[in-house]
């Protein structure tokens, strides 16, 4: 089992943030979990600490449907600079969308490791542990 030092949850719904946080800690895959309601805040953070690997998350769980900046906007922006980051970050889309078009669209982003559906369950956590 791989322990991730830092995991970011990017989701505008505080209930989903809380569920994900509890599940991650209960399963013991992450010790430092931070929740963000605005994807732009995460992009700003990643740019600020781009050369400091220890400040960067190991995993990002990204919701697609958010009001200000959605997951697609995040992925498009991230695609432009992720290769310059001090370490590789595993990104998983964690969404309530079960639309096949969304799943196929996510496949266009080579840096996204998986497409997971809410709510976060112990089975999904097992997939994250393997990454």
CATH code, domain with 35: 3.40.50.2300
Q: Which two tokens stand for residue 55?
A: 């400040």
Distance CA 111, CA 12 (A): 22
pLDDT above 50 (res 27): yes
List, for residues 47-95, the tens digit of each pLDDT value.
999 999 999 999 999 999 988 899 999 999 999 999 999 999 999 998 8
Q: How many domains does the chain have?
A: 1
Domain that holds residue 37: 4-130
| pTM for this predicted structure | 0.90
Q: CA nearest 42: which of 9, 65, 18?
A: 9
């Amino acid at each position: 089992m791989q322990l991730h030092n830092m995991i970011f949850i990017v989701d505008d719904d505080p209930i989903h943030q809380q569920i994900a946080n509890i599940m991650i800690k209960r399963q013991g895959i992450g010790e430092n979990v931070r929740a963000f309601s605005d994807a732009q805040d995460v992009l700003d953070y990643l740019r600020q600490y781009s050369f400091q690997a220890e400040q960067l998350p190991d995993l990002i769980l990204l919701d697609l449907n958010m009001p200000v900046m959605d997951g697609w906007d995040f992925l498009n922006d991230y695609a432009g600079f992720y290769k310059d980051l001090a370490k590789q970050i595993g990104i998983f889309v964690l969404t309530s969308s079960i639309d096949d078009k969304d799943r196929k669209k996510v496949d266009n982003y080579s840096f996204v490791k998986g497409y997971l559906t809410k709510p976060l369950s112990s089975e999904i956590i097992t997939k994250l542990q393997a990454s």
